Amino acid sequence: AQKVTQAQTEISVVEKEDVTLDCVYETRDTTYYLFWYKQPPSGELVFLIRRNSFDEQNEISGRYSWNFQKSTSSFNFTITASQVVDSAVYFCALSGRGNTPLVFGKGTRLSVIA
Amino acid sequence: GAGVSQSPRYKVAKRGQDVALRCDPISGHVSLFWYQQALGQGPEFLTYFQNEAQLDKSGLPSDRFFAERPEGSVSTLKIQRTQQEDSAVYLCASSWGAGVVTEAFFGQGTRLTVV
C-alpha cells in the first residue's frame, strides 16, 4: 500500500525566514511519482512539482526547492525567504504509474507572519 | 474554460436529502478524478474517469455515492440520502493524460454540510 506522511501539522515562521516541509513516503512500486500541491484559503489545489522515481536530481524554481532522496524515502520542500503569500496548506502526494490516483499526506499548514 | 469549475461552491443539505455536485473539467482533458477532503485532512480518492468510462470507483465510501460522466466532459457526483459523515469538501481534478502521470488540475471544490 502507498502512504505519505507529513509529520509537521503546522509551522509558523517570520517573513524572510527559510522553511522546510518534510514528506516521507512508502511504496512497493519501483516506478512512482511524487507531487507537491499548495492549497490557499480559496480551496483549490495548486500544482507545484512532479518528480518521477528515476530522477533524484534536486530542483530549484525561484524561492522553491525540492530535495528527493530515495535512500530515506523523502521528498522535502524548502521555501527560501518566505513571504506572507506563501501562507497555505501544502500537500505531498504519491502515485504509481498508469491510472492510479494520488495518495495525499495530511498536509502542513504554513503561516508566514509579517 | 480556463480551469476546472465546480458548482455549487457551497451546499447545505438536510440529512436524508439527495445532492448533486457538478464538475466542468478543462476542455480536452481525458482524465477526471473526484476526491473527498474532510476538515484538516488531505484529499482522499473517490473515483476516476477516462473519457466517459469510469475506470476506478474503489474509493466511493458506500452505494449512496454515484458518479457519472456521460459525454466524457462534465461530471456529476451524486450522494443519496446524505448523512452527517458526508460533510466534507468534494474536489474535482482533470488531466490531459490517461492517468495521473501528468499533473492534475483541481477545482475549488464544493463544501457540503449535512445538517
Per-residue pLDDT reduced to its tens digit, B83-105? 999 999 999 999 887 755 678 89
- Whether the CB-CB separation of B65 and B78 falls below 8 Å is answered with yes
Q: Which helix (H) or strand (E) holds B88?
A: strand B88-95
Residue B100: predicted pLDDT: 54
pLDDT range class, residue A99, cuts 50, 70, 90: low
- Whether the CB-CB separation of A67 and A75 falls below 8 Å is answered with yes
Instruction: Give the tens place of pLDDT for each residue, A101-114.
Output: 899 999 999 999 99
Q: Which residues of B touch A33 (CB under 8 A)?
A: 100-101
> CA dist A66 to A22, A56, B28, Å?
10, 10, 31
How far apart are the CA of A26 and the nearest CA of chain B, in angstroms? 16
Q: Does A61 touch chain B (CB under 8 A)?
A: no
Contacts of B70 (CB under 8 A, 6+ apart): B52
How remote is the C-alpha of A81 from its chain's centroid?
Answer: 17
Mean pLDDT of chain B, nearest integer: 93
pLDDT exceeds cutoff 70 at B109: yes
pLDDT exceeds cutoff 80 at A63: yes
Q: Does A98 touch chain B (CB under 8 A)?
A: yes
Residue A96: predicted pLDDT: 86
Instruction: Give the tens place of pLDDT for each residue, A73-98.
Output: 999 999 999 999 999 999 999 998 77
Residue B7: predicted pLDDT: 97
Q: Which residues of B touch A106 (CB under 8 A)?
A: 40-42
How far apart, in whole angstroms, are the C-alpha atoms of residue A54 and residue B109? Answer: 33
Nearest chain B alpha carbon to A43: B108
- Whether the CB-CB separation of A47 and B104 falls below 8 Å is answered with yes
The whole-number average pLDDT for the span B78-87 is: 98
C-alpha cell, A78: 524548502
How far apart, in whole angstroms, are the C-alpha atoms of residue B9 and residue B21? Answer: 9
3-state secondary structure of B101: coil
